[in-house]
Amino acid sequence: MSSTGLDPTFSDLPHRHLGEVALARAQELGVTHADFRLERNRYQYLGARDGVLQTASDAEDLGFAVRVVHGGAWGFASGVVLTDDEARRVAETAVAVAKVAAAMTTTPVELAPEPVHDDVTRISGYDVNPLDVPTREKADLLVDWTERLRTGSAVAHATSFLQQVQENKYYADLSGTRTTQQRVRLQPGFEATGEDADTGVFDSMASVAPPVGRGWEYLTGSHWDWDAELAEVPELLAEKLTAPSVEAGSYDLVVHPSNLWLTIHESIGHATELDRALGYEANYAGTSFATYDQLGTLRYGSPVMNVQGDRTTEHGLATVGYDDEGVQTQAWDIVRDGVLVGYQLDRSMGHLKPELNEGRSNGCAYADSPGHIPIQRMANVSLQPGTDGLSTDDLVSRVEHGIYVVGDKSWSIDMQRFNFQFTGQRFYRITDGRLDGMLRDVAYQATTTDFWGSMEAVGGPETWELHGAFNCGKAQPGQVAAVSHGCPTALFRGVNILNTTDEAGH
């Protein structure tokens, strides 16, 4: 845990008092449930290009929300004026919204039970809050990165960026739960672009460093070797610009965690959100092929496929102590030995399917701002490593004709989370168990169950890495959440490979 304490500028806000006022008014109006959430989110983004700082922006989102169940329907309202009168008004508005919604609600809202968590505080695991570091120091670092990248002969332009977030939340409900949380996360990155003068091929090579739930020490300590990657990327770009274009066909794949995390996110993470599987989340990015009637029978992948959901992994982007419904977070199985055995749940979904998770939510409610209602959001969904300790080299040695995939890039997946194709940062031909030079224009294509069914082996714990994204989108109005996905290197047999340049001409 962090050695730093709760931000005093948040502690000094009247969150507890306003919560008492709002909840008392909601109770007077006859609600069956009410919760209060006051939060302040601070953001800073810095961006540099070719030795010059181009962007430096700061933003803050401060406000509170009241959510109620009245007459079997949800009601929600929010405000930004931190006064008693406004707290009462927002509670009254939430109840008024519920009364209108009740006439349109066919299934009464009920929440899965949750123990009371009285007055608990959690601060995420970091040493130095990046927002406390002088902006000049961060800007100098990003500028230096671009200048170092441009020393490579193949690099025409270089960019770098740093996104930082400090999130503070206070939650209280009528049952007596009160939680106060602070978490910090950051996403650094850089990219080099260039063109081969002889062929006119233009391409890029980016950092594969993951976003993390850490502090400034991520950029100055030993968690990631920035110097080595900055030295390597220009050379990788030069090789990529002159690499041969892939011949489409069937290949065995060895996929590094820096690429596989995104396939997990799209084909497992979203597919096993229960609201999607039940058809509640249909407008934005669709529902799911992994419907509830297949629980316990759907062969999601091969027997070496074991996937867990959790909001507890240290430094995970979706890791919190308690979710936005006051539920203590947990870890649970989603796929066991290749079979679908679980889903991600909030309290209303937990009540609808009490046979899951012993009738309890597994802590997957989240709102990205005080102006948004909590919705069911993705946990850290991770593929578990194997027990036989296979290394990446071990997996490569098993392949006669294949491709080694590193780093994420573009992706496409249908609204049922079933048909997909993914590209990457770099690809290496595998010939007779050895890496045999870089390839270009590669995309792998499959259905979700065929792809995971073709997974023959997973690497051991030493190959496992935690990657993720800041920008997972869901809901209407849209909300954005950060989420991590851990996985080992993995071996897949007989995957269809497309040539992206040829496909672009169709």
CATH number assigned to the domain comprising residue 201: 3.30.2290.10
- 343-371 per-position pLDDT tens digit: 999 999 999 999 999 999 999 999 999 99
Distance CA 309, CA 485 (A): 9
CB–CB of 492/255 below 8 Å?
A: yes
- 429-459 per-position pLDDT tens digit: 999 999 999 999 999 999 999 999 999 999 9
Question: 242, 273, 291 — which closes off a domain?
Answer: 242
Q: Is the peptide bond before 477 cis (omega within 30 degrees of 0)?
A: yes
Closest by Cα among 310, 301, 290 to 339: 301
CB–CB of 138/114 below 8 Å?
A: no
Question: 242, 262, 287 — which closes off a domain?
Answer: 242
Quick one: pLDDT at residue 284? 80
pLDDT at 1 over 70: no
Instruction: Report if residue 228 sits inside a domain.
Output: yes
Residue 316 C-alpha from the chain's centroid: 9
Mean pLDDT in the chain? 96
Quick one: pLDDT at residue 4? 72
DSSP 323-386: -TTSPBP-EEEEEETTEE---B--HHHHHH-TTSGGGS--S-EE-SSTTS--EE---EEEEPPP
pLDDT at 259 over 90: yes
Quick one: pLDDT at residue 158? 98
SS3 string of 226-250? HHHHHHHHHHHHHHHHHCCECCCEE
Whether residues 335 and 220 share a domain: the answer is no
pLDDT at 111 over 90: yes
Question: Average pLDDT in the 207-217 region?
Answer: 98
Whether residues 110 and 211 share a domain: the answer is yes
CB–CB of 345/364 below 8 Å?
A: yes
Segments forming the whole domain that contains residue 19: 8-242
Instruction: Report if residue 32 sits inside a domain.
Output: yes
Amino acid at 254: V
Whether residues 281 and 396 share a domain: the answer is yes
pLDDT at 302 over 90: yes
Range in 1-10, 34-43, 232-241 with the lowest mean pLDDT:
1-10
Whether residues 192 and 280 share a domain: the answer is no
Angle, in degrees to the nearest 10, between helices 84-102 and 15-28: 40
Helix (H, G, I), strand (E, B) or coil at 402: strand
Instruction: Report if residue 352 sits inside a domain.
Output: yes
DSSP code of residue 156: S
Number of domains into which the chain is organized: 2
Instruction: Report if residue 2 sits inside a domain.
Output: no
DSSP 98-153: HHHHHTT-SS-----------SEEEE-S-SS-GGGS-HHHHHHHHHHHHHHHTTST
Distance CA 408, CA 257 (A): 9
Instruction: Report if residue 302 sits inside a domain.
Output: yes
Whether residues 123 and 151 share a domain: the answer is yes
- 141-177 per-position pLDDT tens digit: 999 999 999 999 999 999 999 999 999 999 999 999 9
Whether residues 28 and 47 share a domain: the answer is yes
- 85-99 per-position pLDDT tens digit: 999 999 999 999 999
Instruction: Report if residue 1 sits inside a domain.
Output: no
Whether residues 258 and 236 share a domain: the answer is no
Whether residues 222 and 281 share a domain: the answer is no
CB–CB of 284/473 below 8 Å?
A: yes
More confident residue, 284 or 193: 193
Whether residues 106 and 19 share a domain: the answer is yes
For residue 303, the tally of other CB atoms under 10 A from its CB is 12
- In sequence order, the 6+-apart residues with CB closer than 8 A to the CB of 355 are none
CB–CB of 486/505 below 8 Å?
A: no
Question: 242, 273, 303 — which closes off a domain?
Answer: 242
pLDDT at 504 over 90: no
- In sequence order, the 6+-apart residues with CB closer than 8 A to the CB of 121 are 6, 179, 180, 181
Instruction: Report if residue 3 sits inside a domain.
Output: no
Whether residues 276 and 215 share a domain: the answer is no
In the structure encoding, which two tokens stand for residue 439, read together? 């390839």
Question: Average pLDDT in the 179-185 region?
Answer: 98
Whether residues 204 and 80 share a domain: the answer is yes
Quick one: pLDDT at residue 506? 62
Whether residues 254 and 316 share a domain: the answer is yes
Instruction: Report if residue 230 sits inside a domain.
Output: yes
